[in-house]
Structure 1
Amino acid sequence: MYRNILRITCVSLAIFCTIRADEHTHTYEDKEEVVLWMNTVGPYHNRQETYNFYSLPFCRGPKTNIGHYHETLGENLQGIELEFSGLEINYKAEVTQKTYCEVELTKEKYQAFLYAVKNHYWYQMYIDDLPIWGIVGEIDEGGDGYYIWTHKKFDIGYNNNQIVDVNLTSEAKVKLTPDIKIAFSYQVQWKPSKIEFKTRFDKYLDPNFFQHRIHWFSIFNSFMMVIFLVGLVSMILMRTLRKDYARYSKDDELDDMERDLGDEYGWKQVHGDVFRPASHSVLFSSLIGSGYHIVSVSLCVITFAIVGDLYMERGSMLSTAIFVYAATAPVNGYAGGGLYSRMGGKRWIKQMVCGAFLVPSLVCGVAFFINFIAIYYHASRAIPFGTMVAVSCICIFVILPLTLVGTLMGRAISGQPNYPCRVNAVPRPIPEKKWFMEPYVIVMLGGILPFGSIFIEMYFIFTSFWAYKIYYVYGFMLLVFLILAVVTVCVTIVCTYFLLNAEDYRWQWTSFLSAASTAFYVYVYSFYYFFFKTKMYGLFQTMWYFGYMALFSLGLGIMCGTLGYVGTSTFVRKIYSTVKID
């Protein structure tokens, strides 16, 4: 049985790793075949509402056979549908204007093209992994005439035996009229170029946008916020704690009668309950384990993006993220399983399964819901059934076993509780306190400063994803990630100190949720961005936007909540291990 499980796991890993293979080496001999892939078509303002290129009544070229083809898991999940154009293009071989097909505009085809032109449809193609965009047609200034572009002129730049530049010029517009024949033609010109292969994607980047002074200023502003906040937290806590330590040391010198008559208050009074296990420990430890997992994946993917320029390959970012997520599953099991064991949990298998499938189930649930809408719309974003099976196999045969390994290691290595204070058998009553010291108020206020530290970066990330700008400044992202971590930890420590000083020992969930509330503000900001910064419309695009923004916010919340809890836990253990407790 174990041999069969191992065999299935190895096969799944092998299949999963091979999806990263490229379709060719990007080198050509003279007259060698160059493939023009037709990808998707859709409305310009709804970038995620894409359809198969040939869902419009375009015609194919006469060529039917090609020498290579590839499709990765990341491409399938992103709705990339590459279909051969049928146009014959050979390396360094000029093609003069050549008609490759004709389309007779029946009533149905006329209405399809008319709808596409009215809604500003555009399409995407690929040559040697270089994206090319074109417009289906245009409307004349009066708004009465609708025209379609019928000629594609390709200017391809080459450097030695590699393609380094592709430009498309749409020409020969024809007015849409029922019952006419439209001839489609193409032309290919090859030009030597001094562009190096490693820099051929630079033309698609937008340094004026991403490296604008506002971007640099936001990073500097966030960095100054970190310095100020860390200094403020250190000053307040050190001065306050010094007074607390002095007061508690004086209390230790008093006899029992004097201590009983004294006015005791503050965080020391809950030392017997502060290390009490959090309520709903299975869910809590699963969230913390998932948070560790997301932090690990984020750091790895950002590092790979900085080193490897993942934006140059279709779907490579998503494929890398899935691979890293599966490979780092033991982190989830180790952190969640160890924490659950320290809390005295007995149902560790339930916790392990919950931790392994918490994030994947949420992602798959939202994705499959949106997938039904995509299928209804016949959109290319619909995930194929085979891809669903592949993702399910990765979760069952890769993520779950690796999480099990991590859980066993976590229980064995870090599963023993070593709290500095003994936990009382009976919980201490929580005294009444002012409204602004209630946990729900602390939770809502805790995410404001962390959100402020990443507010500007959110705009650039949203614009890169929803407006199809290529995000390439991953050094900025790494710096913002570190700033967010520091600000989150500082804020949650302050919140927890005030909570404990009010003799409320429910700090575990409060520290997690106060940091996770950053995601709430990010999701609220996504509403502003949708209504005021985009021109998106329609059910499909709206559900796609808010569905995946909810997933993004949820993942950010779990990550920030984990950072807040880990920092606060270290702080709590430190202060209670310093004070002498009778």
Structure 2
Amino acid sequence: MAYIMHARNWSLTVLVFFASVCQSFYIPGYSVTSYQDKEPIPLLVNKVFSDHTQLQYAYFDLPFVCPPTGQTHGGSAFGSGHSISLNLGEILRGDRIMTSDFELVMGQDVGCRTLCSQEVDRKGVKWGRELIKDGYVVEWIVDNLPAATSFVTVDRSRKYYSSGFKLGYLDYFPADGSSRYYIHNHFNIIIRWRKASGRAGDQGKRVIVGFEVYPKSIGPDDRDEEGCPNNVHEDHSHLELFIKPNNTQLEQMYSDSSYIPQRGDDAEDGATLDIPYTYSVYFREENSVEWSNRWDLFFTDQVDSSMTHWLAIVNSLTISGLLGVTVIVIWSRTIQGDIKGRGDGILEEGKTKPRSKKPSETREKSSGEGLLEQPTDGHAEADSPSDDELEDVAGWKLVHADVFRLPAHSGFLAPLVGSGTQLIFVAAGLLVLSSIGILNPSFRGGFVTVGVGLFVFAGLFSGYFSGRLYKTLGGQHWKKNTILTASLFPGLTFCLVLFLNLFVWTQASSTALPFGTLVGLVALWLLVQVPLVYAGSWFGFVRAEPWQHPTKTASIARQIPAQPWYLRGVNGILLSGLIPFAVLFIELLFVFKNLWQDKSGYYYVFGFLSVVSTILIVTVSEVTIIATYSQLCAENYHWWWRSFLTGGSSSVWIFAYCIWYYMYKLHITGFVSSLLFFSYSFLACAVYALLTGTVGFLTAYAFIRRIYSAVKID
């Protein structure tokens, strides 16, 4: 009971600590940018993306938008079309940020201004129709804020943002069953500002707290000499993205036939569509939003779902608590039971040799009143082992001479465990930095950039644990193990990314990594991470001592009896994986929705994710202890690989959930997008399996060393 109360108090302490960071704050930027009245504000263009596909495209790569003129605006040193320096995370997420020809001046409204008149051929029109059909949205940036589409809740009590604005829209006509595509060619830009705080505010400077874009489709008619609509806010005819087919030559070719084929949208006959682009700018004061809270409107739906996150935590704690009670019972039967009742007993040839009793104790027990005296032949019946003792003797204690026998393919176990410890360090670092607000939406691409940096630095831990475990397993060629550790997971990951890049390159998507980035990643891997892994491996193998085992291994392996069904094959492994999956299931709904459906949004509730992840690690440890103990009680000492697989088995269920999510929740079209989805899902599940498998193995290893060192065994 004392152990249960201690564990309960510890769990409550951990819960209170993490609950304090659930409402995680963020550092919205490293410096506040304030603008004087009439000071130019740069507008940057980035990319177009869709929730229905994994392919993104740079904004200036679209043939139907205004290309950059190269002119400078607002005293900028760079002309339009100049690429902004990006960090590694921005490049990996497909960002291509460039300066534009939009002219924004703080405090100056612009009723209408012409941007350009762009001619687009049939191929460009066809591509634009495909992008509109797939629901692509445009991402612009002002003062590090993405352009937002504003919405209000059903009861009109709150306002919230969705990042980006539609490239165009599709309209259906039920009368004839046709559909028409309209492109947005006029942009109403609203900049929301408030007075800057402190000394900057005293100087009349302002800060931007909102950037909204409301696009419209306006036809080419009813425009003034400069190309602007006569009244922007009135209803106009819309601009259809369509070029009338030219069938003159076909009519001549098929003059004697009643059937005349139509030209496709990609026919090269020189026909073009002229698209006039205009924009309006309005500055509105907004004192209800602080600059430090200007990102909150992007997270309204995540705040509303906080109750669901708490239910996920309660569900996870319930499952983990029940498993914890089971682990405490196992711990009491193995460790405390031997210390209190059988601690000085010696296991010899599968029998218990009970401690000798004093003659006075024997006489007192046999001469009590009301008790029948039993004939003895030198051994009292009371000294016989109990059923629990016989069960323990017939179980995990009998394999004491084989429990540390080297597993098959041990040369791969150490590199996998080393890579797993590396991923544990990365995951823990990212969750902590995100929960306390260091990694936030204003640090664009920061999550991936910091993740790559942590992964490279964690090569020290990878090499150390891999080298020391390799030495414990009796390995001699530690340099070979170092090379395998440094190249196994990063090498396979890089090969997969390179393979996927070949398909993305063919689509001319910004999702494809530039060649220079690939070269930089290879240099980072070979020139930085590999030496760090080598240094860690040298210290773990050469300088550190191997982990000592409490029992000696017999020369002849013990025969393993027939195993119950749940210990044969992968049955028990897959069943064990269901429990951690149940802990993570509810939070996965939010993560998947953010990754695959709401790519225009930002995942913000890292405090909740940290709590669930901590409970998940505890649950994986508990499940592995229970499974390993059951295996040892069945006199099966092949626990090395099984503990690793048990810890990572929930990844199978997560991948199955990815398949279900793809079939019933997503509307991904195209072979390349589907290939990217399943490839990235497989990679994420492999990372998860490696991480949790390492947790399971290390937990089982520590548990086995502890229980066999606490019992005196000959």
Q: TM-score, normalised by structure 1?
A: 0.90
Alpha-carbon deviation of 1:252?
4.2
CA distance in 2 between counterparts of 1:428 and 1:466 reads 51
1:114 equivalent among 125, 129, 141: 129
Q: Which residue of 1 aligns with 2:492?
A: 362
Amino acid at match of 2:677: Y
CA distance in 2, matches of 1:415, 1:241: 26
Instruction: Check whether the contact 2:464–2:536 (CA below 8 A) recurs between aligned residues.
Output: yes
2:465 pairs with one of 335, 342, 345:
335
Within the alignment, does 1:228 sit opposite 2:228 as a pair? no
Is the deviation greater in 499-508 or in 355-364?
Answer: 355-364
Match for residue 26 of structure 1 among 30, 33, 41: 33
1:299 aligns with 2:306: no
Instruction: Give the direction of change, closer, same or farther, for the CA distance of 1:70–1:158 in structure 2 (3 Å limit).
Output: farther
Aligned residue-pair number: 556
1:102-181, aligned counterparts within 5 Å? 102-132=117-147, 133-142=164-173, 143-159=178-194, 160=196, 161-171=206-216, 172=218, 173-178=238-243, 179-181=272-274
Q: Which digits, 9 at most, give the CA deviation of each residue in 1:261-316, with x for residues without a partner?
A: x9962111111111122322221011111111111111111111122142222211
> Aligned partners of 1:44, 1:519: CA distance in 2, in Å?
25
Structure-2 separation of matches of 1:23 and 1:295: 28
Task: For structure 2, list consecutive stretches of 5 or more residues without a partner in the other structure.
Answer: 1-28, 79-83, 148-163, 197-205, 219-237, 244-271, 356-378, 385-389
Alignment of 1:125-524 (within 5 A): 125-132=140-147, 133-142=164-173, 143-159=178-194, 160=196, 161-171=206-216, 172=218, 173-178=238-243, 179-194=272-287, 195-208=289-302, 211-239=305-333, 249=345, 251-253=351-353, 265-307=394-436, 308-412=438-542, 414-438=544-568, 440-467=570-597, 468=599, 469-524=601-656
Structure 2 counterpart SS, 1:123 = strand
Q: 1:91–1:347: structure 2 CA closer, same or farther, 3 Å change rule? A: farther
Partner of 1:576: 708
Choose 168-177 or 281-290, whichever is displaced more.
Answer: 168-177
Amino acid at match of 2:432: T
- 1:379 shift after superposition: 1.0
Q: Which amino acid aligns with 1:279?
A: A
Q: CA deviation at 1:212?
A: 4.0
Q: Is structure 2 residue 57 aligned with structure 1 residue 57? A: no
| 1:297–1:321 CA contact under 8 A, matched in 2 | yes
Point out the more displaced range, 154-163 or 221-230: 154-163
Rg (Cα) greater in structure: 2
* Range 437-446 or range 220-229, more displaced: 437-446
Higher helix proportion (structure 1 or 2): 1
Q: How far apart, CA to CA, are the structure 2 residues paired with 1:476 and 1:208?
A: 11
Partners of 1:244 and 1:509 in 2: CA distance: 28
Contact kept, 8 Å, 2:478 with 2:541, in 1: the verdict is: no
Worse-matched range after superposition: 198-207 or 474-483:
198-207
Counterpart contact for 1:72–1:315, Cα < 8 Å: yes
Deviation (angstroms), 1:576: 0.6
Aligned twin of 2:46 = 39
Give me the whole-angstrom Cα distance separating, in 2, the residues matched to 1:154 and 1:574. Answer: 66
- Counterpart pick for 1:540 among 658, 672, 685: 672
- Bigger drift between 545-554 and 57-66 goes to 57-66
CA offset at residue 29 of structure 1?
Answer: 3.9
Matching residue's letter, 1:85: S
Letter paired with 1:368: L
RMSD between superposed Cα atoms in Å: 2.5
Change (3 A) 1:117 1:464: closer
Change in Cα spacing, 1:106 to 1:558, as seen in structure 2 (3 Å) is: closer
8 A Cα contact 2:414 2:469, kept in partner? yes
Moved more, 233-242 or 333-342: 233-242
CA shift, 1:439, in A, is 5.1
Question: In the TM superposition, what is the alpha-carbon distance from 1:450 to its structure 2 partner?
Answer: 0.8
Aligned CA distance change for structure 1 residues 384 and 23 (closer, same or farther; 3 Å): farther
Which deviates more, 226-235 or 545-554? Answer: 226-235
The whole-number CA distance in structure 2 between the counterparts of 1:111 and 1:574 is 68
Deviates more, 1:51-60 or 1:554-563: 51-60
Residue 254 (structure 1) shift: 6.6
Residues 487-531 of structure 1, C-alpha deviation per residue, up to 9 Å, x if partnerless? Answer: 111111111111111111111111110111111111111011111
Residues 1:152 and 1:564: Cα distance change in structure 2 (over 3 Å):
same
CA pair 400-131 structure 1, distance change in 2 beyond 3 A: same
Residues 254/208 of structure 1: CA separation in 2 closer, same or farther (3 Å cut): closer
- Name which of structure 1's ranges 388-397 and 67-76 shifts more when overlaid on structure 2: 67-76
Structure 1 letter corresponding to 2:171: D
String of CA shifts for 1:113-139, please: whole Å, max 9, x gaps: 333333333222112221121212222
How far has the Cα of 1:484 moved from its partner?
A: 0.6
Give the conservation status (yes or no) of the 8 Å contact 2:439–2:446: no
Confirm or deny: 8 A CA contact 2:51 2:596 kept in the other structure: no
Percentage of pairs with the same residue: 28
Provide the C-alpha distance between the structure 2 equivalents of 1:319 and 1:482, rounded to a whole number of angstroms: 23
- Is the CA contact (8 Å cut-off) linking 2:64 and 2:119 kept in structure 1? no
Residue type matched to 1:396 in 2? L
C-alpha separation between the residues in 2 aligned to 1:67 and 1:301? Answer: 36
Task: Call closer, same or farther: CA 1:347–1:49 in 2, change over 3 Å.
Answer: same
Whether the aligned pair in 1 keeps the contact of 2:44 and 2:141 (CA below 8 Å) is yes
CA distance in 2, matches of 1:32, 1:158: 13
Gaps of 5+ in 1: 1-21
- Aligned partners of 2:478 and 2:688: how far apart in 1? 26
Is 2:96 the partner of 1:81?
yes
Deviations 1:519-571 (A, max 9, x none): 11111110111111111121111111111111110111011111111111111
- Tell me, what secondary structure is at the counterpart of 1:189? strand
Q: Distance in 2 between matches of 1:535 and 1:493?
A: 41
Contact 2:302 2:604 in 1 (8 A): no
Instruction: Measure, in 2, the Cα distance between the counterparts of 1:373 and 1:106.
Output: 26
**DSSP-derived class of the 1:144 partner:** strand
Change in Cα spacing, 1:289 to 1:157, as seen in structure 2 (3 Å) is same
Equivalent residues of 1:38, 1:85 under 8 A apart: yes
After TM superposition, give the deviation of residue 166 of structure 1 in Å. Answer: 0.1
SS in 1 for 2:441: helix
Contact 2:169–2:181 (8 Å) recurs in 1: yes
Question: TM-score under structure 2 normalisation?
Answer: 0.74
